[in-house]
Chain A
């Protein structure tokens, strides 16, 4: 049977879900949108029988009313629209601390007459002010079970109650109902009559749907599967309504009348509870006075962000090195064990190299999601969004984009995955398109090489040019990210001016269990989805640089009888490098740089090793400094240095901005579920890189550098 879990954000719905599903949780996608869909299969003993349940966790929402495909997800899931299965029962989670607001959604469910069981979560926290589960059950007319999402208490009883309702198939008679005026109802019935025949034909259900349509359908909404006739009737009814005035003579409107009727009913039921709340200062308020204070809050924030930053940069390092060493060892072992052949090369460099390129991201992904999970669970993440919102908003970004952007300094891949904390699709997309511009750690080896080769320390100069240059590159990337966000938010990814409605959830001690489960789920989905693309890309690039094969080298016994890899110059990759020379020359690049840039598409660090191969290095570890010298001493036919500091600057700027990471594109594709956005990302970033490099090189040349 299918059970759907709904509720407001921050009621503890996810904790309850985790308690019920444990490690069996899976992550998928809702059709057509990039919101992830969580579901799991469980079994439960009911008497002598074993019942199989598929439990789906719907995204948190305040109301079923929707204006976009994403907001439509919950009502679609409840009614089985869009080809989904209709749930047999719905578990609505409410939190004692927000009961008035939470019951608004429950009321909508009751109006629809769908089978409902209510979970009253965290009742103990409400200090005796909240109704008990029995009292709530009396009020609502549907079963209510008290739960504690943090300890797991009541969750089994909740599941049992839900299964019982699903199997009983009895119609529930809700006792919480809004009283709508006769005039309003006559309008509603007009819309109800226009509903498609496929809808269940009970009067109450149709009225509830009509109310939904009246509040949701609007010119310019992005709802899916809405019949045109319905839209016409809604539009007609709305304009007819505008001519009415309210009971007290003041102008009223449809939305207000409907919402007021609903809250009136809720308030009436709850009027004997939560007395004197308005003057209660909660513990969370007290902590927030510190955490959100301009000074102490700022310090707390800096410390927290520093921990995240440091973790992403330093703590993942040992694991990353370990993986890299492991992969290298595997590659060496494999090439010594296997006979020299094309297949061996493919396996060693293509497959093993590719797998290595994928797995190397795991430590940072796991670490970032661990940190984010802990931040979210403790409630602090909402405060981060709250603090950063004002600043981010000026760039068109959302406060919650801060942590993903910050982690972009380590690596864009986990950062892009972390944008899932942004609920709004446009905010998510915008952040995803901007994160790759942050200076990721893969760019560091390139900066180091170029700076060391072409900007040598001057004798007797006190100015730390090398350090300043590096910091400059970081600052440049931040400026460009913010600038792009600003431009993109006004053009391509116009952020709908959605009001920020943010709840500051109560603080609590973060729990390790659910966080670890989430981490593991994310890591798996990364490996499955992005991993395959990265592997494919690595193999492709290996092929470009290894073909066409040349004649066997007669002098080397190892290679006897099998075509050797060509010198890089003659490979397809090299040929492409030469072919695009005319395009890249105005940037100051020659074919060697071009070929290395092509190699860098697999992973940016590959630029260095490819360049090494081009200059004839066999083992880069020993010759690291030698590569620097070789670059510096390359000469043009006329004796001038081929690679000048200006060209070095142009190259660094190119790397700062160009999208050269196949892995990034793979993850963006996976997260947006389309090819459009990774393509756009590639095009806009690379164009930006080209233009900036061009400007710098040409301007610099003109100025005589």
Chain B
């Protein structure tokens, strides 16, 4: 599934990031890398943007960007 579809609060792990070079590069440099754990902590009222918890920090990205990031659920151990 994509990050846009990851349910609120559900931990996930990034598989890959698609998209145009410059947008993708920015996301990578912010720490959204394959094998990185990510969690959606908030969604704005109209569904956009999304607030994420990643690498011990918080940041928000647009839903359109989130569509480029594929993730899998992480089941709590």
Contact = CB atoms under 8 A, between A and B. Distances in A.
Given A499-B62, A499-B65, A500-B61, A278 B25 contact: no
A104 B31 contact: yes
Given A218-B22, A277-B56, A294 B30 contact: no
A553 interface: no
Interface string B14-45: 00000001111111111101100101011011
Given A390-B44, A499-B26, A501-B30, A278 B62 contact: no
A503 B50 CA distance: 11
A255 B30 contact: no
A292 B45 CA distance: 7
Which of B11, B47, B57 is the most central at the interface, judged by chain A CB atoms within 10 Å of its CB?
A: B57
A502 interface: yes
Contacts, number: 117
A659 interface: no
Contacts of A294: 45
B1 interface: no
B46 A100 contact: no
Q: Is chain B's binding surface mostly helix, strand, loop or mixed?
A: mixed
A471 interface: no
A260 interface: yes
Contacts of B24: 255
B73 to A, nearest CB: 14
Contacts of A256: 28, 33-34
Contacts of B30: 62, 101, 501
Interface string A438-464: 000000000000000000000000000
Contacts of B26: 62, 499, 501
A378 B62 CA distance: 23
A503 B60 contact: yes
Q: Is chain A's binding surface mostly helix, strand, loop or mixed?
A: helix
Nearest to B68: A499
B44 A292 contact: yes
A99 B61 contact: no
Nearest to B57: A98
Nearest to B48: A390
Contact of A497 (B23, B27, B55, B60): B23
A85 interface: no
Given A278-B11, A298-B45, A101 B55 contact: yes
Interface string A237-275: 000000000000000000110011001000100100010
A515 interface: no
A104 B31 CA distance: 9
Contact of A100 (B22, B44, B49, B57): B57
Interface string A280-291: 000011001100
A99 B55 CA distance: 9
Contacts of B46: 390-391
A389 B41 contact: no
A297 B61 contact: no
A285 B57 contact: no
A387 interface: yes
A100 B45 contact: no
A567 B57 CA distance: 69
A97 B34 CA distance: 22
Which of B22, B47, B51 is the most central at the interface, judged by chain A CB atoms within 10 Å of its CB?
A: B22
A65 B60 contact: no
Contact of B48 (A255, A293, A389): A389
B48 A504 contact: no
26 contacts: A62-B26, A63-B29, A98-B57, A99-B57, A104-B29, A104-B31, A215-B25, A255-B21, A289-B42, A292-B44, A294-B45, A297-B45, A298-B45, A386-B44, A386-B49, A387-B45, A390-B49, A393-B62, A499-B23, A499-B27, A499-B61, A499-B62, A501-B60, A502-B59, A503-B58, A503-B59
Interface of A: 62-63, 65, 67, 97-101, 104, 215, 218, 255-256, 259-260, 263, 267, 270, 274, 277-278, 284-285, 288-289, 292-294, 297-298, 386-387, 389-391, 393, 497-504
Interface of B: 11, 21-31, 33-34, 37, 39, 41-42, 44-49, 51, 53, 55-62, 64-65
The 8 closest A-B pairs by CB, nearest first: A98-B57, A100-B55, A390-B46, A294-B45, A502-B60, A390-B48, A274-B56, A259-B28
